[in-house]
């Protein structure tokens, strides 16, 4: 794959909020392949295993690289972002603290783990296979400013473990150029991200960006993997975002796949997997996952 644009990480090319007023640092055309260099979510502050937590400046968490201005993207369009490759560093870091996440821990701790040959060398001889993914990816909202700590309809701090190599994410375009940014790369993460961090790492992400016109029925932010479609939603309440994620898929099955409300509801009840993405961000996240093979088999009704 040839890269048309490259966005390096630095003070001038990173930011901490999705906002239309953040000046773009690069431009791409629809169909271009772009390489983003991303710092880890602690901005590279964890210099060694066991580093004193008190040295961590938490105001520097979740820097994202960008924004990228995609020429031709206008409000109402959808930005298709194909995640072609995620290359990660040879170590990952984690910080845990009592009160962060949903597990009670004593004190506060910063750890650094080697990554060798696709395996994270965890404690106790555990070698955990890497499954690189993007924690934060999004576009600028039409109004206001949204911290990179928070997920929402713009994408943002989604922390969805399906957001890895080979997947496609569909994001809304709310402002001219879309203003795409990303960061918070993870070596691996489980559903829930229970301790509030994943295997945090810096990385290089190669994406292809394409502007889609007339894609109004796509329920963004939506993820397509090689085997499934996933609708997503975020809210302070898990009850609210689980319902929202399911209803997005339900509506899409009716509008795009021509199912009746009853057919769509029944199919989701039988084959849809409603999953928790994360429970640790200011807004929690859920997704409804449905296998693509079912929709490949589904014959659009003939009236
Ligand atoms: Ca995150
Ligand atoms: Ca993270």
- Over residues 169-223, the pLDDT tens digits come to 999 999 999 999 999 999 999 999 999 999 999 999 999 999 999 887 899 999 9
CA of 179 to the centre of ligand 2 (A): 21
Compute the distance from residue 206 Cα to the ligand 2 centre, in Å. 19
Tell me the C-alpha to C-alpha distance, in Å, between residue 73 and each of 5, 20, 31, 65, 248.
17, 14, 12, 19, 23
* Band of pLDDT at residue 302, cut at 50, 70 and 90: very low
Task: State the distance from the centre of ligand 2 to the C-alpha of 259, rounded, in angstroms.
Answer: 37
The ligand placed nearest to the CA atom of residue 151 is 1
Q: What's the CA gap between 39 and 85, in Å, rounded?
A: 16
The whole-number pLDDT of residue 216 equals 74
CA of 53 to the centre of ligand 1 (A): 19
- pLDDT surpassing 90 at residue 303: no
Dist. CA 49 → ligand 1 center (Å): 21
Region 127-154: what's the mean pLDDT? 98
Question: Could you read off the pLDDT of 22-48 as tens digits, one per residue?
Answer: 999 999 999 999 999 999 999 999 999
* Residues that place a CB less than 5 A from ion ligand 2: 41, 135, 184, 198
- pLDDT for the residue 301: 59
């Amino acid at each position: 794959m040839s890269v048309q644009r490259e966005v390096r990480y630095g003070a001038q090319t990173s930011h901490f909020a999705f906002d239309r007023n953040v000046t773009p640092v690069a431009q791409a055309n629809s169909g271009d392949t772009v390489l983003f260099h991303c710092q880890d979510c602690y901005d590279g502050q964890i210099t060694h295993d066991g580093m004193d937590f008190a040295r961590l400046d938490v105001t520097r968490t979740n820097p994202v690289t960008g924004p990228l201005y995609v020429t031709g993207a206008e409000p109402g369009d959808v930005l298709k972002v194909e995640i072609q490759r995620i290359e990660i560093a040879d170590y990952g870091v984690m910080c845990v603290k009592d009160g962060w996440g949903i597990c009670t821990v004593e004190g506060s701790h910063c750890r650094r783990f080697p990554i060798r040959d696709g395996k994270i060398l965890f404690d106790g001889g555990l070698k955990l296979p890497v499954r690189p993914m993007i924690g934060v990816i999004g576009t600028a909202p039409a109004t206001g400013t949204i911290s990179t700590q928070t997920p929402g309809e713009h994408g943002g701090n989604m922390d969805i473990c399906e957001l890895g190599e080979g997947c496609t994410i569909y994001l809304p375009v709310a402002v001219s150029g879309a203003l795409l940014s990303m960061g918070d790369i993870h070596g691996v993460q489980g559903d829930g991200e229970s301790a509030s961090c994943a295997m945090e790492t810096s990385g290089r992400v190669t994406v292809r960006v394409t502007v889609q016109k007339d894609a109004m029925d796509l329920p963004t932010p939506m993820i397509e993997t090689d085997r499934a479609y996933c609708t997503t939603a975020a809210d302070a309440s898990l009850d609210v975002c689980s319902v929202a994620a399911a209803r997005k898929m339900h509506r899409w099955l009716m509008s795009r796949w021509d199912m009746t409300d009853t057919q769509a509801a029944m199919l989701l009840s039988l084959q849809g997997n409603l999953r928790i993405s994360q429970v640790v961000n200011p807004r929690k996240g859920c997704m409804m996952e449905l296998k693509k093979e079912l929709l490949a088999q589904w014959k659009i009704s003939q009236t």
